[in-house]
Structure formats: C-alpha cells, structure tokens
Amino acid sequence: MKPTRPGALIAIAAVCGAAAWLAVRATFAGLPTLPWTAVPALLLLAIGETGIGRNLHARIRGRGSGKPIAPMAVAQVVALAKASSAAAAALGGLAAGFLIYVIGSLDKAVPRGDALAAGVTLASAAVLVAAALYLENCCRAPPPPEDQEDPPGPSRQDAGGQP
C-alpha cells in the first residue's frame, strides 16, 4: 500500500467543491441553514486518530506498553487513516464549495451564518486530514538498525574472493 498523496486529496476536495458550488448555486434559496454538527464530529475523529497514532508509533518502535501490535492491525489502521483523509477531503471540498458561493452575500444574515459554518467545517476537515496523514505516517515500519561494526564471519578477501 502506497502512502496517500496530497495531490489525490486536493483532487477529491476540488471535485467535491465544484459539485457543491454547482448544487448550491442551483438550490440555495430552498436550502436550510448549514448545520454545525460536522464540526465536533470531525474534531473528535481528529483527536482520536492523533491519540491512536501516538500510541501506535511508540508500540511499533518498541517503546510503548503492552504486547507488540499485530501487522494486520497496523494494516487496518492504515486503511482507516486513508479512508479518513479521503472523507475529510471530500467534506472539506463540499464546505469550500458552499463557502465560495455564499462569500459574496455576507451582508445578509443567513448567508453570513452559513459562511461561518462552512468555514469552520472546512477548518475542521483540514484538521482531520492532517490527523489522518499523521496516523498513516505513524504506521510506517522503522528503518532497520544500522550496524556500526562489520558483521562477524570471514571477510570477502579471507574467503578467497576478489577484493
């Protein structure tokens, strides 16, 4: 599994942002006000993924308490991180598309409240993307230890090999 590329997340956000802008442009008058419910959910997920990342990072490197983590569990956490970053990019793109549409109408009360909700949702989605990328990074295997000395055994020259 390859690491998540920021370009892929930007592409997801851009497509969702364009779709949201088109949908809001066509139906803004009939839409209810934008809810704030996504903000605490996104932030709680970000906090949880950051905590999991810290714990997992320590356990993978042998510094954490408890038994070593199973490789399949690490793969599942990587899948969670990849899904979270993609979902947060999509929600952030939707919020950005909404924000771009209503930013021109900040002199009215309803669009101003919607713009604030969309901006905070966008910021929360960005925090979740960062936490998910951090979690994915924490799942990487540590580099193998480098030996300072030559390995024991006959050297190439002692074994009759060419230098």
- Give the span between the Cα atoms of 31 and 142, in whole angstroms: 50
Give the residue-averaged pLDDT of 96-118.
88
pLDDT at 61: 81
The domains of the chain are located at 36-138
Rounded Cα gap, residues 13 and 18, in angstroms: 9
pLDDT band at 157, cuts 50/70/90? low
DSSP reduced 3-state for 130: helix
